[in-house]
Chain A
Amino acid sequence: MTDISTRVPHVMSSPGGRRRRNGGRPRVGTVAAFLTPFFLPFLLFYVAPVGYALWQSLRVVRRTGGQYGTSYTAFGGFEQYAQVFQNTEFWASIGRIGLFGIVQVPVMLFIALIMALLLDTPLLRLKAFFRITAFMPYAVPGVIAAIMWSYLYSPQLSPVVDLLEGIGWQPDFLGPGAVLWSAANVSTWLWTGYNMLIMYAALQAIPQELYEAAKLDGAGQWTIAWRIKVPIIAPAIVLTTVFSIIGTLQLYAEPAVLRQISSNISSTFTPNMLAYAVASGNNYQQAAAISVVIAVITFVLSFGFMRLTSKKAGL
């Protein structure tokens, strides 16, 4: 275990942190008593469902008899996975959220970073107010947020669209080219405050002496922000990026809600929507295989990103 009690965050993931010296080994019973509350739910609600999905994904449906014969499942090896990899809809949905993530994640994190830095300057007043206002959207459930935004996008109901039409612009937020970005906007609105708060918390942990030293060296607020604050909170930014990559791959609520008012979102718009559509067609084994592939991609991308950044930044 690395020591996480130090106040400067970048020490958090430094390798070879001080190890606590073990005087005497704790008794097995004590260890078990402390670990059970974690491992029991972990096994029940995490390992078991994942294991079940893996098992399901290796099975295929067989049937005896004719029209309404009796069905059972049998071992099918990687048949379901082969189907997933051949499924053009699956790759289309991966491509779609890939594009979504490449644009939405940087935009959102950049806004979150700017907001966190602004909150951290001594110049800003009413900090508590701005902090809570920026965080507020996170308290709104994703489905509700999407419903709310769907009203703002809808040409029939939206005052925003009316206003824009008033100045001679005919926006089509739900059109084939725009709807992905309309969904991205909802995600950005929902999650920016959350990410801002993580970055802001990291900023709060920076010792004031650093700023005083910088000021003595003649650094202004701008220089302090970019030369001191941002590099120090880099681990927090990496963390929010990883969360956002995972969130993007699991995108479901926003497009699923917008789908009800825009036919330009298909039932296979995101990988999770595809898995849901397949499961609702009773093909649970295929849906399980899709879920496993999504999980693997998520794992590879998020850990890949962490390794890449930690090597580069020497974190």
Chain B
Amino acid sequence: MSTTVTRTGLAAAAALSLALLAGCSSPADSDTAAAGSCTPAKGKVTLQYWNTVPGMDKVVALWNKNNPDIQVQTKNISNDQYGTLGNALKAGKAPDLAQVGYDQLPSLRTQNAFVDASACSTAAAAKSQFVPWTWSQTSFGGTGVFAFPQDTGPMALYVRSDIFKKYDLPIPKTWDEYAAAAQKLHKANPNISITFFDPNNAEWFNGLLWQNGAEMYSYSGDKWHVTVESDQSKQVAEYWQKLISDKLVRTDLANGSTQMYAAYQKDQVASYVGASWGYSMFRDNLPQQAGKWTIVPMPTWGADGASGDWGGSTVAFMKGNSHLYESVKFNTWLNTDPKALALENKLGGLYPAANAGLRLPALSQGVAYYNNEKIFDVFADSSKKINTSFAWGPTQKTANLALQDAMAKAAAGDGTLTDALSTSQAAALKSMKDQAIPATAGK
């Protein structure tokens, strides 16, 4: 698949099979994943762009000022992002472009929510401008272009250096060292925990699984292969289960909750396994702890030092988009232009998915709250070490809910995290069956 010829051939074959599919199945209420056409419009165009990023209206205002012929209207849908999008799609009134999280891309694609922008040569050409794993998630590993990556959440370890110093804990480089530190800290002072395990946060746990090379979904031979329950994911589950059983981590805090900040405020928790976007959470919610935090690479499993990702979004080309040419133009600017990226980072706290974004001046400077350390170097490094072949499932939300419910039970002493993986695996398979998506367990 390395030559352009093969790629074009594949695209043509894909387009043809789509056309055949569209031709042979036309029940009244069916949808088709149409490949768009890429012809510039004559005259002025107005695009609709729905998003959840604070300050995005100002970024768009900058575009509108310089592009009188392609005007963009924004709408903030952070209140109920996927509900709003889902309703709009059902009503046939989806915007031209919309923000969609990586983990929701496959499920929306299964709902035929996107249009393939690869008809525009500029869209496929944008590939080289993005961090590789983000691109493979938006193209589903194939040649289609359904969205452009916008931001990511490479993970790292946030450390309260003063507490670590006080109890003479070395900065852990591996998860084993982290567990040892947890034990040592607990022995020295049972009132402090090394961190907390949030049983209601499947997205976070998925990031941990991702780091260990657990690939939960793959597609081959006309079927999805569900491997939520794999050796790699079991290793992560058993690790955290032991920390929970030994009462070395707390399980009563939810990420980003007032209760969580209160616990950190009271010096009851000594570290935080988080993502790039978390840096501003501590800065803004615990101003008194300025200078006490440091950010280091996430502890690793093996020698390869792989990292994980938690969160991040894309800007997708939505079904019904009739101005693909202009949409690609705007979407490219929005997610690769240094001026736009700098503004998004400043106003919305986005950690860019574009290579150019990782070189933003703002991201190479020290951050006052973190002792003027260049914390974004850690995230940039983490971003490069994320497994590019990780893929989300087409019923990710259901799998996540099942995982959370079972993780909560495990945290309350009813079952284990390993059981939670089987529960999630079963829920994933059942929900795919309900949606008539061909799937099987295992590779």
Partner-B contacts on A (CB < 8 A):
60-74, 83, 151, 154-157, 174, 176, 259-261, 263-264, 266-268, 277-278, 280-283, 286
Contact A267 B435 (CB under 8 A): no
Given A68-B109, A70-B112, A156-B263, A63:B257 Cβ within 8 A: no
Contacts of A63 in B (CB 8 A): 435-437
Contacts of A261 in B (CB 8 A): 254, 257, 259
| B219 and chain A: residue at smallest CB distance | A67
CB distance from B52 to the nearest CB of A (A): 17
8 Å CB contact of B24 from A64, A267, A277: A64
Please report the C-alpha to C-alpha distance between residue A261 and residue B258 in the assembled complex, in whole angstroms: 9
Check: B438 CB closer than 8 A to any chain A CB.
yes
Given A67-B222, A277-B401, A282-B395, A72:B431 Cβ within 8 A: no
Contact A266 B408 (CB under 8 A): yes
Contacts of A155 in B (CB 8 A): 252, 259
Contacts of A281 in B (CB 8 A): 395, 397-398, 401, 431
8 Å CB contact of A70 from B32, B140, B398, B431: B32
Contact A268 B405 (CB under 8 A): yes
Contacts of A286 in B (CB 8 A): 434
Please report the C-alpha to C-alpha distance between residue A282 and residue B90 in the assembled complex, in whole angstroms: 11
CB distance from B117 to the nearest CB of A (A): 15
Contact B262 A157 (CB under 8 A): yes
Check: B251 CB closer than 8 A to any chain A CB.
yes
Top 10 closest pairs, chain A to chain B, by CB: A281-B398, A263-B408, A72-B30, A63-B436, A156-B262, A263-B199, A64-B25, A266-B405, A156-B259, A72-B27
Contacts of A151 in B (CB 8 A): 258
Contacts of B394 in A (CB 8 A): 68
Please report the C-alpha to C-alpha distance between residue A280 and residue B263 in the assembled complex, in whole angstroms: 32
CB distance from A200 to the nearest CB of B (A): 38
Check: B111 CB closer than 8 A to any chain A CB.
yes
Contacts of B227 in A (CB 8 A): none
| B438 and chain A: residue at smallest CB distance | A66
Contact B29 A64 (CB under 8 A): no
8 Å CB contact of B411 from A65, A73, A154, A263: A263
CB distance from B321 to the nearest CB of A (A): 17
Check: B152 CB closer than 8 A to any chain A CB.
no
Contacts of B33 in A (CB 8 A): 68, 70
Contacts of A277 in B (CB 8 A): 398, 401
Please report the C-alpha to C-alpha distance between residue A268 and residue B402 in the assembled complex, in whole angstroms: 9
Contact-residue bracket for chain B: 35 or more
Please report the C-alpha to C-alpha distance between residue A266 and residue B404 in the assembled complex, in whole angstroms: 8
Contacts of A280 in B (CB 8 A): 82-83, 397, 401
Contact A70 B31 (CB under 8 A): yes
Please report the C-alpha to C-alpha distance between residue A293 and residue B21 in the assembled complex, in whole angstroms: 36
Please report the C-alpha to C-alpha distance between residue A67 and residue B435 in the assembled complex, in whole angstroms: 12
Partner-A contacts on B (CB < 8 A):
17, 21-22, 24-25, 27-33, 82-83, 86, 106-107, 109-112, 140, 198-200, 219, 222-224, 251-254, 257-259, 262-263, 266, 394-395, 397-398, 401, 404-405, 407-409, 411-412, 414, 431, 434-438
Beyond A67-B222, A156-B258, A157-B262, list 10 extra A-B contacts (CB 8 Å): A61-B435, A68-B109, A155-B252, A261-B257, A261-B259, A263-B198, A263-B200, A263-B251, A267-B404, A281-B398
Contacts of A266 in B (CB 8 A): 404-405, 408-409
CB distance from A63 to the nearest CB of B (A): 4
Please report the C-alpha to C-alpha distance between residue A126 and residue B22 in the assembled complex, in whole angstroms: 74
Contacts of B412 in A (CB 8 A): 176, 263-264
Task: Count contacts between A and B, CB distance < 8 Å.
Answer: 123
Please report the C-alpha to C-alpha distance between residue A260 and residue B223 in the assembled complex, in whole angstroms: 36
Please report the C-alpha to C-alpha distance between residue A123 and residue B412 in the assembled complex, in whole angstroms: 51
Contacts of A263 in B (CB 8 A): 198-200, 251-252, 254, 404, 407-408, 411-412
Contact B29 A72 (CB under 8 A): yes
Contact A154 B259 (CB under 8 A): yes
- Some 14 contacts from A to B, beta carbons below 8 A apart, are A61-B435, A66-B438, A70-B30, A71-B112, A154-B259, A157-B258, A176-B412, A176-B414, A263-B200, A263-B251, A263-B408, A267-B401, A268-B405, A280-B83
Contact A69 B404 (CB under 8 A): no
| A67 and chain B: residue at smallest CB distance | B219
8 Å CB contact of A61 from B82, B200, B436: B436
| B82 and chain A: residue at smallest CB distance | A280
Contact B21 A64 (CB under 8 A): yes
Please report the C-alpha to C-alpha distance between residue A151 and residue B262 in the assembled complex, in whole angstroms: 12
Given A70-B22, A157-B258, A263-B200, A282:B107 Cβ within 8 A: yes
| B106 and chain A: residue at smallest CB distance | A68
Please report the C-alpha to C-alpha distance between residue A154 and residue B257 in the assembled complex, in whole angstroms: 11
8 Å CB contact of A66 from B82, B222, B395: B222
Contacts of B254 in A (CB 8 A): 260-261, 263
Contact A259 B200 (CB under 8 A): yes
Contacts of B198 in A (CB 8 A): 263
Contacts of B434 in A (CB 8 A): 61, 83, 283, 286
Contact A267 B405 (CB under 8 A): yes
Residue of B28, B199, B254, B435 with most chain A CB atoms under a 10 A cut-off: B435
Contacts of A60 in B (CB 8 A): 436
Please report the C-alpha to C-alpha distance between residue A263 and residue B259 in the assembled complex, in whole angstroms: 13
CB distance from B105 to the nearest CB of A (A): 11
Please report the C-alpha to C-alpha distance between residue A74 and residue B435 in the assembled complex, in whole angstroms: 12
CB distance from A151 to the nearest CB of B (A): 8
Please report the C-alpha to C-alpha distance between residue A263 and residue B260 in the assembled complex, in whole angstroms: 14
CB distance from B218 to the nearest CB of A (A): 10
Please report the C-alpha to C-alpha distance between residue A261 and residue B110 in the assembled complex, in whole angstroms: 32
| A277 and chain B: residue at smallest CB distance | B401
8 Å CB contact of B408 from A62, A71, A264, A278: A264
CB distance from B88 to the nearest CB of A (A): 15
Contacts of A74 in B (CB 8 A): 27
Contacts of B405 in A (CB 8 A): 266-268
| B27 and chain A: residue at smallest CB distance | A72
| A80 and chain B: residue at smallest CB distance | B434
CB distance from A257 to the nearest CB of B (A): 12
Please report the C-alpha to C-alpha distance between residue A147 and residue B82 in the assembled complex, in whole angstroms: 23
Please report the C-alpha to C-alpha distance between residue A268 and residue B406 in the assembled complex, in whole angstroms: 11
Contact B21 A71 (CB under 8 A): no
CB distance from B361 to the nearest CB of A (A): 38
Please report the C-alpha to C-alpha distance between residue A46 and residue B437 in the assembled complex, in whole angstroms: 34
Please report the C-alpha to C-alpha distance between residue A154 and residue B401 in the assembled complex, in whole angstroms: 23
Contacts of B223 in A (CB 8 A): 66
Given A263-B199, A263-B200, A71:B401 Cβ within 8 A: no
CB distance from B433 to the nearest CB of A (A): 10
8 Å CB contact of B435 from A66, A176, A259, A282: A282
Residue of B17, B33, B398 with most chain A CB atoms under a 10 A cut-off: B398
Contact B24 A71 (CB under 8 A): no
